[in-house]
Structure 1
Amino acid sequence: MGSFVHVKEATIVTPSEPTPTGVLSLSSLDSQLFLRFTIEYLLVYKPHPGLDPGATTARVKAALAKTLVPYYPLAGRVRAKPDGSSGLEVVCRAQGVLFMEAVSDHNVNEFEKAPRFVTQWRKLLSLHVADVLKGAPPLVVQLTWLKDGNAALGVGINHCLCDGIGSAEFLNSFAELASTSQTKFSEFKFKPKPIWDRHLLNPAPFKPSRNNNNNALSHPEFNRVPDLCGFLARFSNERLTPTSFIFNKTSLNELKKLASSTSRHSESNYTSFDVLSAHIWRSWARALNLPSNQILKLLFSINVRNRVKPTLPSGYYGNAFVLGCAQTSVNELTEKGLGHATMLVKRAKEQVDSEFVKSVVEIVGQSRASPDSVGVLILSQWSRLGLEKVDLGMGKPVHVGPICCDRYCLLLPVFNQTDAVKAMVAVPTTAAQRYEHLVRSFTN
């Protein structure tokens, strides 16, 4: 298996035209402590034979420079606000982003299954920015040519500046430009047009929430629960094993039937996300063999662009999500069947309305509230972001996933299977075999 990656060139790419200078404030949601990390995407391509790597790299760099004109804050630098608050801001002086071109002895077939170890693909994005507040560029792009003539695109984008939807819109505009002919390049129109407007998700425009909804009891995602089993120590001390499993339309329908058969009839109108996330959560909990009274949470992001009033404008690329939280004990999660777990997920989604979002904005704006880690499985739905459409002129990616597999579960798109989802998560090695067995067996 390949592991050699050599960076041939590392260069700073700046916007191709003059851009505004100044300081932009990030929103209360952008500034949350738990978002101060880099989203790292890996997209793998099988370009047509005869593609010129040199010309392709030049096109990609030129497209990146042009995309940074309307997305100029991504070429800035993030810092803490000097007023001592917990807020963040972006200093925009066209400082630029890092672009790397590399070669590797990885081959395209490696990406059809889970990596053998968590960091196997780490060097496909050679610069990992652990803390963007220390002056690193918030955007890093690496184009790597694989030994079989195929290509991988690694992208690191700081979560403070974009959520999944925003980063995918950026990547699709960037890719569309990279595949645009030279004659139409200068006339390119960005759709949707990027919108900053971070003030729309600050506490100031909102009146205090009714019913005092901003108390902690309304937001279990921020509550702390007792660690009855050394949960955090297990995940930090034990080696994690990456897993991935594809759920096609047939298996998703089987899960829906199973969930409906163990639910109250009025609650059984479940989506694929509802049943799949509940099934993964139950399989994970059962495989870890946790104490029956340990409280567990499933946290997942909910897009609020159309849930707030007024709705956010098209092209808003900041963090416009809150965390849905399904919570129960190990005993109830594992013994009550798939229908019960699915109902918890569905209800967590349904309670997120404009008032709920306002109360989250108030909480994170007034305090440094952050989600708990004890008993938590975080699940993120990358399968609906549009990453599978990011075409740099080499066709659609045959693999979309993270640079490194993690203890967070990602739902990923599957190449040429629009109704299928790949679930990728790393679990403690002692639980990996049992987890894989449980996630493959659709039984209560």
Structure 2
Amino acid sequence: MANTPLTSFIVKRHAPELISSATPTPRELKLLSDIDDQEGLRYLNPLVQFYRMNPKMGKRNPASVIREALAKLLVFYYPLAGRIKEGPGRKLMVDCTNEGALYVEAEAHVTLEQFGKTIRPPFPCIENLFCDVPGSGGIVGSPLVQIQVTCLLCGGFIVALKINHTMCDGEGAQQFLMALGEMAQGALVPSVLPVWKRELLYARNSPHVTFPHLEYDDVLDNGHNHVIAIEEMSLKSFFFGRAEMLALRRLVSGNLKTCTTFEMLTACLWRCRTIALQPNPEEDMHLLFFANARLKFNPPIPVGYYGNCIVLPCVTSRAGDLCNKPLNHAVELIMKAKSCVTEEYVRSTAHLMVMKERPLFKTTSSTFIVSNLARARFNKVNYGWGEPIFAGFPKDDEVTPGVFSSYIPTLNDNGESGILVLIGLPIPAMKKFVKELNIMLK
């Protein structure tokens, strides 16, 4: 059984439940910030965690433990038990109704072993692991947190959840889940208390855009910038450990050798992706990356703030330059874009959202968007059974497939720590991408 690749499995779901806070919470209307409610964040952000059986937990049901912990945690994170409403000008706010988070308990007749020696995406039948409740997929009026806990034959289990991105960025979601793990292990109060304070990221009364925001500029339709159908895509994960990082660093020269792992890896992937797509050499290629700006503020954004405090700086290069110039070219562009992320850059973004009525950031095939979870602690969330053997984004984006990529901390078959990168590309382009990446790693 273990040697047979898992291609499909059936999940038996129990009736869905709405989990409200364990004690009464304030009924109030809370405005989201102008960073929160932008168009590009109006979706449910998925995350999946795989856990092994732990004999010390005896016959305790992980689904029951997490359900009880969620009710206790929503006392502190009570806005997440409410519902999003849309006001004048499509301004988003949360109505703290305590209607509850969506929760589903399920069983699957498979074992963790059947997912492979090393668990990594893409996963078969991934849609079976997430809540599938009619009417729950929207942003307005739908549950803000949706969790399915699927128990497996081996005693392991899978936690698959979706969190409304307008309510939490990656750090906010991580904070919520770490607290959920603490409550599951018996804590009465989260070690980091949640902070709302969305007014810190409101646009000022007289909004003024002080930076160029290429990430929100329209992309001209040149016949190639189209969204690729999901059925035409190939999704693969690539592991970058110490050997791979050393190989890439040898391609960087001069003062740029001090670049970060993120800068070097992103430059490499952007270059390989562009070569694989074979655009016109004169076409502009765009790289966007989510940057956490909490520590850029003076005074800093308070510890415990779980709203969106992210921006998407944009890097642009001619395709010909990206493909033919040394890796230094892309690294230098990325470093320059990172240096622009300041408190004023975040405020300029908020002002742009108000002045241009929340434009959508670039999402065409000429754009590569990176979400870096390499330092996130989703792989440290412990519900009592120990840390997960995998935690991260499970699949490619269904709305704009082939555009988003995520970096996930993980272990390879030999137990070496590194970064797992999830890449989606059209099937012919994926073959070219793998070939080019192998050349760079040699």
Instruction: Give the TM-score normalised by structure 2.
Output: 0.90
Q: Distance in 2 between matches of 1:157 and 1:350?
A: 30
Report the counterpart of residue 25 of structure 2 in structure 1: 19
Aligned residue among 294, 301, 310 for 1:312 = 301
**Contact in 1 for aligned 2:256/2:331 (Cα 8 Å):** no
Q: What's the CA shift for 1:322?
A: 0.3
Q: 1:418 to 1:87 in 2, by over 3 A?
A: farther
SS of 1:232's partner is coil
**Contact in 2 for aligned 1:228/1:291 (Cα 8 Å):** no
Which range is displaced more, 120-129 or 296-305? 120-129
Q: Does 1:213 align with 2:210?
A: yes
Q: What's the CA shift for 1:52?
A: 4.7
Q: Distance in 2 between matches of 1:404 and 1:5?
A: 18
Report the counterpart of residue 373 of structure 1 in structure 2: 363
Q: What's the CA shift for 1:96?
A: 0.5
Correspondence 1:22-421 to 2 at 5 A: 22-49=28-55, 51-52=57-58, 54-81=60-87, 84-109=88-113, 110=115, 112=118, 115=121, 120-127=125-132, 129-133=136-140, 135-180=141-186, 185=187, 188-204=188-204, 213-214=210-211, 218-233=212-227, 235-236=228-229, 239-259=232-252, 261=253, 265-367=254-356, 368-374=358-364, 375-406=366-397, 407=402, 408-415=404-411, 419-421=417-419
Q: What's the CA shift for 1:50?
A: 6.9
Aligned residue among 421, 426, 432 for 1:423 = 421
**Contact in 2 for aligned 1:116/1:241 (Cα 8 Å):** no
Unpaired stretches in structure 1, ≥5 consecutive residues: none
Report the counterpart of residue 3 of structure 2 in structure 1: none
Unpaired stretches in structure 2, ≥5 consecutive residues: 1-5
Q: 1:229 to 1:113 in 2, by over 3 A?
A: farther
Q: What's the CA shift for 1:114?
A: 5.2
Q: 1:41 to 1:237 in 2, by over 3 A?
A: closer
Q: Distance in 1 between matches of 2:435 and 2:125?
A: 23
Q: 1:316 to 1:144 in 2, by over 3 A?
A: same
Q: What's the CA shift for 1:177?
A: 1.4
Q: 1:440 to 1:107 in 2, by over 3 A?
A: farther
Letter in 1 for 2:420: K
**Contact in 2 for aligned 1:238/1:429 (Cα 8 Å):** no
Letter in 1 for 2:439: S
Q: Distance in 1 between matches of 2:75 and 2:257?
A: 47
SS of 2:103's partner is strand
Q: What's the CA shift for 1:428?
A: 1.0
Which range is displaced more, 37-46 or 308-317? 308-317
**Contact in 2 for aligned 1:30/1:160 (Cα 8 Å):** yes
**Contact in 2 for aligned 1:97/1:139 (Cα 8 Å):** yes
Q: 1:178 to 1:226 in 2, by over 3 A?
A: same
Backbone CA RMSD of aligned residues: 2.2
- 1:58-102 deviations in Å (ceiling 9; x for gaps): 221111111101100000000111xx2231000002110111111
Letter in 1 for 2:362: D
**Contact in 2 for aligned 1:166/1:316 (Cα 8 Å):** yes
